[in-house]
Amino acid sequence: MDSVSHLLRMAKVTASLDQRCLLGAATRMEVAERQALEAQFHVLLEGECRLQVAHTVLDMKPGDFVMIPGGAAHRIITPGTYSAAATTEAEGESFITAYSANGGTPVIDLFCGHYAFDPGAGAVLFRSLPDPVHVSFGASAETDTMLRTLSELMRGEARRGGAGMSVILSALSTVLLAMVLRSTRGSTTDVTLWTATTDPRVTETVQAVLADPGGDWSIPRLAQRAAMSRATFLRHFTRETGMTVGAFLVRTRMMTAAELLSSTDDTVATVAGLVGYGSESAFSRVFRSEIGVSPARFRRERHQRENRLRRIRTE
């Protein structure tokens, strides 16, 4: 299995389209902070606007995709000399449509949604991404074509409506995330997505570790697998992924450990050994650092959440 598919499977990502924004000129729309384990995303179908999150301002063009992995509050600003904060909303069968409160012809067509993800592997994956992520036209010819195609499909489905629209738009949003995770840096951003390495030698080592996270992945062994000297490998790996080899190994192993704790009855000691740790206590310290809770508590809380969901479905 390729690395992006592997990561999305472990992260248990689901996509939801929250609203379509048909905003007029000189409008500012405030987007609230999401709850934990949710990341907002925006797809601009038509027009131009700006997205401001904290001190970062991104210029968006048709087909652009922006994701905020940390779920921070932000704003959408349409062109104009004055930015009015007021917007109005209309309920629909599948999602809300937002308009400028003062009316006017829409100058942007923007889809806004969010990704929900697993508290273990998903949380580690999304925390490892740049925040925000901005993929724009110019990243590559392949990316341009795919983004345009997905944008047109989403806009066409929203206009058409009908049965199944919500499911279709959610599926297209998940496809969009997969495309983004394998996209190289765009012309409007200098951030690195570690899921989109372009050096085949580094890509091969990433896939090898994902396939066998418990392996004896010393730096000399990884460098040998990549057919590079140790120093050259370390330099190329950091440049391609934006992180050190050590950080990558820890994140990969903790994502796998979280999945094992969720899907098997293996003891914590067994899980520790499967992801390359000879000491249960050392594994527990690293797991707590990455996930935020001990392995035992993570498993207990996961089972409690699943039991609550089962009760809700049967009520």
Measure the CA angle with vertex 123, ends 120 and 124; round to 5°.
85
Distance CA 298, CA 62 (A): 41
How high is the pLDDT of residue 138?
54
- DSSP 8-state secondary structure symbol assigned to residue 197: -
**Token representation of residue 308:** 């609550």
Measured between alpha carbons, how far is residue 237 from residues 21, 109, 125, 252, 255 in Å?
Answer: 40, 39, 18, 15, 20
Through-space distance between the first and last CA atoms of the chain, rounded to whole angstroms: 38
Nearest one of 170, 195, 150, 132 to 2, comparing CA atoms? 195
Question: Is 87 in contact with 97 (CB distance < 8 Å)?
Answer: no
Distance CA 112, CA 64 (A): 12
**Token representation of residue 199:** 């050096």
How high is the pLDDT of residue 219?
94
pLDDT per 10-residue tile (average), the chain, 315 residues: 86 92 92 94 93 93 91 94 74 82 88 94 92 74 70 80 81 89 59 80 92 93 94 93 93 95 94 95 96 93 77 69
Distance CA 62, CA 46 (A): 5
Residue with tokens 């998940």: 174
Q: Whole-prediction pTM value?
A: 0.87
How high is the pLDDT of residue 135?
84
- Name all domains of the chain by residue range, CATH numbers in brackets: 3-181 (2.60.120.10), 198-304 (1.10.10.60)
DSSP states along 291-311:
HSS-HHHHHHHHHHHHHHHHH
How high is the pLDDT of residue 242?
86
